[in-house]
Amino acid sequence: MAKKRTKSKSSTSKKKISFALSKQNKIILGSLLIVLSIALFFSFMSYYFTWQEDQSLLSEFKDRNAEASNLLNKFGAAVSHFFMYKGFGLASFAFPLLLAITGLYLFLGLNRKGLISKWIWGILGIIWVSIALGFFAYEQPLLGGSIGFEMNDFLQDYVGKIGIFLILVFVLMVILVRLFNFTPEGFANFFRTQRNSIKSNTKKKTPAMATLAAGDNSIELSMEDTETEKIDTYTHKKDIPPVIKEAGLDVNLPEKEEEIVDIGLKVEKVVEEKEEKDIKSEKLVKDFGEFDPKLELSQYKFPPLDLLDPHGVSGGITINQEELEENKNKIVSTLKNYKIGIAQIKATIGPTVTLYEIVPEAGIRISKIKNLEDDIALSLAALGIRIIAPIPGKGTIGIEVPNKNATVVSMRSVIASSKFQKAEMELPIAFGKTISNETFVVDLAKMPHMLMAGATGQGKSVGLNAVITSLLYKRHPAEVKFILVDPKKVELTLYNKIERHFLAKLPDSEEAIITDTTKVINTLNSLCIEMDNRYELLKTAMVRNIKEYNTKFKARKLNPNDGHKFLPYIVLVIDEFADLIMTAGKEVETPIARLAQLARAIGIHLIIATQRPSVNVITGIIKANFPARLAFRVTSKIDSRTILDAQGADQLIGRGDMLFTQGNDVTRLQCAFVDTPEVAKITEYIGSQRAYPEAHLLPEYVGEDSGTGIDYDIADRDAMFREAAEVIVTAQQGSASLIQRKLKLGYNRAGRIIDQLEAAGIVGPFEGSKARQVLVPDIYSLEQLLENEKK
Ligand SMILES: Nc1ncnc2c1ncn2[C@@H]1O[C@H](COP(=O)(O)OP(=O)(O)OP(=O)(O)O)[C@@H](O)[C@H]1O
């Protein structure tokens, strides 16, 4: 049957093809139209200069001796007369344009989808222009042509001059709105951005270098400015991994070749099949264009920059010369007190901290300076001093001193930076700025997972918002989906508005933002299923990662009937991970570790944030799989070591001051600041646009906790079963946490006992966040029930 069906399908498609033009014919017809359009254009142009001379000739068209002045002679004169005089006047120039476009489409074999609408809009435009010219240039009938003139006359008889004017304005509005997506806000925004760009161009840049004299020793202190390309400073060197541009090679070739070797004799057949497939997909691409995942929401507009607040920062950072001089003198004199001479000192000013780079005199031991950290901090009377001795890759020692007046790094400034705008990354994240005031952009897809820690109030939530905002500004809803876990229930709720654009959820859940531990476990397990499914798809597509897979899918080389589909990136964000580990332990840890180990190739990325970076929260297995770590200020050196494997996070100054590492280097950054109202505006903007019918659905996962139908053998019951049953019946409250508390059991064991109680008919089924119903009214009934069971 199936075969028959495919046969008949292919025969109909063949029939269809026979009606279509062959490639050669398309090229011929395309060239003809292009030549014709050029001929028309020149005829029309020259008509305006020669129409008077040629007018008498029109009746003598057949006379071979008569010669017209039009550049295309009699043909030009006649055709132009028809179009320009009898037709639409000046608007007729649109005809050669439309013909040329059609010719190009045919010539280049482009997808002809948009062509009809171009013609419809073109003809509407022609009619509008000719009537408008007939109306405004009544005295010059040649401009509007006979049709414009007559139609204008006709309309005037019925609706008068004002009526025509209003009709023209209305049709113009229709054209602007439908064709150019004109909106009053867009119009206002356009002018606002124009004004801003003019303003920013006129702003002067701060001087790049300054040299300070320092008393007798005349120590040179040079200051790097915002604009200088400071590449070699220890961690601020341009250490963002370069984007490896994929060469335009067919990535599948090596695999295909391997396959050919494996199957020996079938080589030729496979090659033939492959060619056939390639030809098919090429044909599909030619007919329908590449698959466009954004098509469903093709009208989607990315949030504009105006939604972000500049936070009062007009441009670069302000340099306080006095402060610099003072700090430098203090550093020099403190070191002098300990008999450490300095050969050179240099300062690099960042938004919140200034880095003083010292070159000590020959023969000074570096560890000596390192040990003076507290003394220098004391002499500068400042928090957050960090000494980097030596700066990796440089022969200097760095002392980071916080600025008295920190500059806020607005999200707006980092999003607007050309580094972010031009970033050719899969999932670009603009974290903020480095010490040398350079925008810091990294690719989440390359990280591939990130751990974030910081004591309360140090900027973690702002950091998470900065990550999500970066992606919202750069990616279409078809390309990335978020799974948000927010046990605190307040931090991420704003993103509810973009549920149907950007969020993913379990099929049966109402809320897309997960606040409940059980749901987190189910979601993580469902993500593991998604991961396995995706690996299966990658395997059948014979590609190594999601990027190759999607490229192949877009090139129509993968058949959706075989289960292939465009795969969006999935970013799982967990705020307050400590809370989850405390309540669910291994049940959360195991799937997270699995995802972290395996999910990089298939586009699932995890971002985990925690207030308490202690070893029982960030366990070895989790740490090993999260190479990218981000630390805001933490309370102790131990916490800093746990998160970064280095100290320093305890010496940060808070308010978005952070250390980022992706392996060896630790970079000090100032996190971009995005406030809640800004996030609200962005989500509102996205949320008000047309969305998918529902959130992206994850595969279904039936959690163990749903419990129904689990038949526990009496002999397999937990040793604490009876006690637990008594606790539940006495309290008349069927919750696992009650058993946990009263009997001092772990979450998992309590959960298992609840399942056993359900199987025994003592409590009712799982009811989400509510406690289960207790089906036994008192202890006496319970004893009877258990006795009966034994019989
Ligand atoms: N990058 C930043 N620039 C300037 N100020 C910041 C920055 N990040 C945070 N702040 C300030 O610190 C405050 C607290 O930040 P945030 O809410 O992100 O802390 P948190 O670590 O998430 O705290 P909690 O864990 O209690 O939720 C913010 O309201 C803001 O005033």
Q: What is the pLDDT of residue 194?
A: 60
Atom from ligand 1 closest to the CA of residue 466: 1
| Of residues 616, 284, 549, 234, the one with CA closest to residue 393 | 234
Q: Ligand 1 centroid vs 362 CA: distance in angstroms?
A: 43
- Taking phi first (over 0 means left), then psi (-120 to 50 degrees means alpha), and beta for anything else, what does residue 751 get? alpha
3-class DSSP assignment, residue 530: helix
Domain parsing of the chain, residue ranges: 18-180, 215-240+318-402, 253-289, 436-616+624-632+641-693, 704-790
pTM listed for this prediction: 0.58
The yes/no answer to whether this complex scores an ipTM above 0.95 is yes
Atom from ligand 1 closest to the CA of residue 672: 1
CB atoms within 10 A of CB 612: 20
pLDDT, tens digit (0-9, with 9 covering 90-100), for 658-668: 999 988 788 88
Q: What is the pLDDT of residue 206?
A: 35
pLDDT band at 683, cuts 50/70/90?
very high
pLDDT, tens digit (0-9, with 9 covering 90-100), for 567-576: 999 999 998 8
Residue nearest to atom 6 of ligand 1 (CA): 655
- Is pLDDT above 60 for 237? no
Ligand 1 pocket test, pick from 462, 469, 617 with the greatest ligand atom count within 8 Å of Cβ, gives 462
- Is pLDDT above 60 for 15? no
Q: What is the pLDDT of residue 148?
A: 84
pLDDT band at 381, cuts 50/70/90?
confident
Residue nearest to atom 31 of ligand 1 (CA): 655
Q: Count of H helices and E strands in the chain?
A: 27, 16
Q: Ligand 1 centroid vs 656 CA: distance in angstroms?
A: 7
Residue nearest to atom 9 of ligand 1 (CA): 459
How confident is the model over 491-516, as a mean pLDDT? 88
Q: What is the pLDDT of residue 246?
A: 33
**CATH class of the region 436-616+624-632+641-693:** alpha beta
Q: Ligand 1 centroid vs 563 CA: distance in angstroms?
A: 44
Q: What is the pLDDT of residue 555?
A: 87
CA–CA separation, 83 vs 430, rounded Å? 56
CA–CA separation, 524 vs 592, rounded Å? 7
pLDDT, tens digit (0-9, with 9 covering 90-100), for 711-754: 567 777 888 888 899 999 998 888 888 888 888 887 778 888 88
Tokens representing residue 768 in the block: 């989400």
Q: What is the pLDDT of residue 468?
A: 95
The mean pLDDT value of the chain amounts to 78
How confident is the model over 627-656, as a mean pLDDT? 89
Q: What is the pLDDT of residue 233?
A: 33
Q: What is the pLDDT of residue 239?
A: 35
Q: What percent of the chain has pLDDT over 90?
A: 21
Atom from ligand 1 closest to the CA of residue 463: 18
Residue nearest to atom 5 of ligand 1 (CA): 655
- Is pLDDT above 60 for 5? no
Residue nearest to atom 26 of ligand 1 (CA): 456
Q: Ligand 1 centroid vs 317 CA: distance in angstroms?
A: 21
pLDDT, tens digit (0-9, with 9 covering 90-100), for 443-474: 999 989 999 999 988 999 999 999 999 999 99
Q: What is the pLDDT of residue 709?
A: 47
How confident is the model over 579-593, as a mean pLDDT? 84
Q: What φ, ψ does residue 483 adopt, rounded to 5°? A: -115, 120
| Ranges 19-23, 27-31, 69-73, 293-297: which has the least confidence | 19-23
Task: List residues forming the annotated binding site.
Answer: 454-461
Tokens representing residue 375 in the block: 């003394």
Q: What is the pLDDT of residue 607?
A: 94
- Which CATH number among 2.40.160.40, 1.10.10.10, 3.10.580.10, 3.40.50.1980 corresponds to the domain 704-790? 1.10.10.10
DSSP of 540-604: HHT-SSHHHHHHHHHTT-S-GGGT--PPPEEEEEES-HHHHHHHHTHHHHHHHHHHHHHGGGGTE
Q: What is the pLDDT of residue 559?
A: 83
Q: Which residues share a beta bridge with 608?
A: 451, 574
Residue for token digits 């509008």?
128
Tokens representing residue 530 in the block: 């998604």
Task: List residues forming the annotated binding site for ATP.
Answer: 454-461
Q: Ligand 1 centroid vs 619 CA: distance in angstroms?
A: 26
Angle at 653 between CA 652 and CA 655, to 5 degrees: 115
Q: Which residues share a beta bridge with 357?
A: 346, 398
Q: Name residues contacting ligand 1 (CB within 6 A).
A: 408, 454, 456-462, 611, 655-656, 671, 673
Higher pLDDT, 276 or 270: 276
Q: What is the pLDDT of residue 213?
A: 32
CA dihedral 307→310→314→315, nearest 10 degrees, is -90
Q: Ligand 1 centroid vs 103 CA: distance in angstroms?
A: 59
How confident is the model over 17-38, as a mean pLDDT? 79
CA–CA separation, 140 vs 191, rounded Å? 35
3-class DSSP assignment, residue 667: strand
Atom from ligand 1 closest to the CA of residue 465: 18
| Ranges 51-65, 245-259, 579-593: which has the least confidence | 245-259
Q: Ligand 1 centroid vs 666 CA: distance in angstroms?
A: 21
Q: What is the pLDDT of residue 4?
A: 43
Q: Ligand 1 centroid vs 632 CA: distance in angstroms?
A: 10
| Ranges 149-158, 231-240, 627-636: which has the least confidence | 231-240
Q: What fold is seen in the domain 215-240+318-402?
A: Threonyl-tRNA Synthetase; Chain A, domain 2 (3.30.980)
Atom from ligand 1 closest to the CA of residue 673: 1
Higher pLDDT, 306 or 57: 306
Angle at 478 between CA 622 and CA 468, to 5 degrees: 45
Q: Which residues share a beta bridge with 434?
A: 669
Residue nearest to atom 18 of ligand 1 (CA): 459
How confident is the model over 251-259, as a mean pLDDT? 29
Higher pLDDT, 383 or 435: 435
Contact, 206 vs 225, CB < 8 A?
yes
Residue nearest to atom 11 of ligand 1 (CA): 655
Residue nearest to atom 4 of ligand 1 (CA): 655
DSSP of 82-129: IIIIIIIGGGGGHHHHHHHHHHHHHHHT--GGGHHHHHHHHHHHHHHH
Q: What is the pLDDT of residue 327?
A: 86
pLDDT band at 674, cuts 50/70/90?
very high
